[in-house]
Amino acid sequence: MKSYYERLLLALQEYGVLVQATVVKAQGSVPRETGAKMIFFPDGGSEGTVGGGIFEAKVREDALTVFRNHKPLLKTYAFNQEGKYAIGAVCGGSVEVLMERITTSPRLIVVGGGHVGQALIKMASLLDFSITLIEDRAEYASVKYPVEGVEIIHSPEDFSAIPEITENCYVCLVSKGFVSDEAALRRVIDSPAKYIGMIGSRKKVETVYANMQKDGFDRKKFARVHAPIGIDIEADTPEEIAVAILAEIIANKNKPE
């Protein structure tokens, strides 16, 4: 039988994000003692128990709030019919529960290893990202980066080698031109990625969208794409563009859902 922490690690690998609830203080007659833990999954599932019944239902409700606002929550629940923190039970005790959001390192997927892609990878390495570069050009897929741990994938031109994308992924389309960016966008537009950004002028962006609409893509889907990519800081050099992109990604990563 797997230990609690083995199960937690497996769940984290599967979902990328979860909320852990821990009983940090227990007084009086309560269903479980200090240290009891429970895992909540983003799809509404869970594993373990902090006590069941009305109490656990309220903890689950509060865990969903933690999923949305990204902030830990320490809350008291009193097993009383009335009074402060009362949950409508009659046991008479009380517990404090700490709920915290746990995630794997966010994954930055950079499609395109040209000047902007290289600058983006170097700067992102200073942040808490695992980094994957996708390139359809062999010469760029073989670039040696001074950054350790960059996963490099040499993909066919249709970008079918883009790995599975989760809710903890941030995708930057900064390849050699609109044809390759469009091919990659077709692959990721329906993914659960937290962020999708595409480089290029507004004319290029509209050209890509028009091409995809002709093939049946709903235009409403494009509303989630940050294009042109990055916040507007009048960026000019690849390094400045990388700063603008990462600033937009960080703002997106840290905002409440």
Query: 244 Cβ partners below 8 Å, 6+ apart?
Result: 229, 230, 231, 232, 233, 235
User: Two tokens at 191?
Assistant: 């993914």
Dump pLDDT digits (tens) for 14-50. 888 899 999 999 988 888 899 999 999 988 889 889 9
Distance CA 21, CA 13 (A): 18
Dump pLDDT digits (tens) for 59-104. 999 999 998 888 899 999 988 877 776 667 777 788 999 999 998 8
Dump pLDDT digits (tens) for 137-165. 988 888 777 777 889 999 999 999 999 89
Which of 2-16, 192-206, 232-246 shows the lowest mean pLDDT across its residues?
2-16
Q: Domains of the chain, with CATH numbers?
A: 4-103 (no CATH), 107-254 (3.40.50.720)
- pLDDT value of position 104: 82
Q: What is the mean pLDDT of the chain?
A: 90
From residue 21, give the alpha-carbon distance in Å to each of 50, 63, 157, 203: 8, 8, 45, 49
User: Two tokens at 33?
Assistant: 């003692």
What does pTM read for this prediction?
A: 0.74
Q: What residues form DSSP beta bridges with 219?
A: none
Tell me the percentage of the chain whose pLDDT exceeds 90: 63
